[in-house]
Amino acid sequence: MVYEVYLGDRAFSSWSLRAWLLFEQFDLPKRIHMTGLYSGKLARDLAALAPARLVPVVKTPDGQVIGESLAILETLAERHPEAGLWPADPAARAFARWITAEMHAGFAALRSDCPMQLLHRYDGFQPSQAVLGDLDRITELFTHARKNFAGSGPWLFGAYSAADAFYAPVAARIAGYGLPMNGVVAEYVQETLADPAFRRWRAEGLTIQYDPQPYALDLPTSPWPGPVPLAARPVQTGVPVNATCPYSGKAPTHLMEVSGKIIGFCNATCRDKSLHDPLAFAPLRALLAP
């Protein structure tokens, strides 16, 4: 039973990130299909999934096509109640649905002025009053969720929920444009940027180069404000510490050096996503452990 999940470019598609996190964080079976969101091929790539016209799109194991992230979320919650996409407590669940729906329909200024990009941080970006108003509302919602429902967990409702999947691109926008944030929002942004699943998504997105770059601003940039990844580089020769690719189990043909070790992969794609953030991937963390 595998879901077919159609997504757009990882470095820029915020709605694709939300859907992918639902499957990744809650360990739901998926097969990923990347579409040509920024190459002009989206309509062709989604032609067989009509009436879907935007990403993400999901095709269920029984063949039903579902568009729109909220519909995808609620379908998954119905089909997999044991996964815990929503908080178990009724009051927490109601508020989680509230703020998820508000995210889906709101924060127009933040979305318009600060399109998600996971490449770097823009320095000197001046948010409009409308964007600052969106940030005030986000602060209000986060503060209420953390105060009333989070307990000791680090996420909005303690344990990771669908609300966190929907607010991950919001955290990325705040980080990517250097937007002002108070304590509760700053803590949440750093929690999101440090999350291994989010880091895996970003690392894979960095394997693609864009010319021109979508949403580019004429502003100086600085490194992405998430955890600093281990330095890694591709190499042509060496004896890998692993006999098989950590992802596929196949014989290694492409090599990477990190922390004084040579790691082998079965193809360039496996190697290149690992280059950008080795510790984001559990199989590599195991190989790099002391």
289 pLDDT more than 90: no
46-58: pLDDT as tens digits:
999 999 999 999 9
- Inter-residue contact 150 to 158 (CB < 8 Å): yes
> Does residue 290 register a pLDDT over 90?
no
Does the structure show a pLDDT above 90 at 1?
Answer: no
Section 240-259 average pLDDT? 96
Which tokens go with 1? 């039973």
CA distance 44 to 46: 5
CA distance 282 to 88: 28
Residues making up the chain, counted from first to last: 290
Which pTM does this prediction carry? 0.96
Could you tell me what percent of the chain has a pLDDT over 90? 98
Distance from the first to the final alpha carbon of the chain? 37
Q: What is the DSSP letter of 167?
A: H
Q: pLDDT band at residue 28, thresholds of 50, 70 and 90?
A: very high
Q: What is the dihedral of CA 38, 43, 48, 53, to 10 degrees?
A: 90
CATH code of the region 90-201:
1.20.1050.10
Pick the CATH number of 3-83 from 3.40.30.10, 2.60.40.1180, 3.20.20.150, 3.40.1260.10: 3.40.30.10
Q: Name the percent of the chain in helix, strand, coil, to the closest 5.
A: 45, 15, 40
Retrieve residue 19's tokens: 């859907």
Q: Are 256 and 275 in contact (CB under 8 A)?
A: yes
- Closest among 41, 44, 77, 76 to 58, alpha carbons compared: 76
pLDDT at 169: 98
Using CA atoms, how far apart are residues 13 and 116, in angstroms rounded to an integer?
A: 7
Q: Do the beta carbons of residue 206 and residue 276 sit within 8 Å?
A: yes
Question: In whole angstroms, how far apart are CA 35 and each of 43, 65, 93?
Answer: 9, 16, 33
Rounded Cα distance, 20 and 23, in Å: 5
pLDDT band at 132 (very low <50, low <70, confident <90, very high): very high
Question: What are the tens digits of pLDDT across the range 139-190?
Answer: 999 999 999 999 989 999 999 999 999 999 999 999 999 999 999 999 999 9
Q: What is the mean pLDDT of the chain?
A: 97
**Residue-wise pLDDT tens digits, 150-160:** 998 999 999 99
**Structural contact between residues 226 and 197, judged by C-beta atoms closer than 8 angstroms:** no
Write the pLDDT tens digit of every residue in 110-125.
Answer: 999 999 999 999 999 9
pLDDT at position 274 is: 96
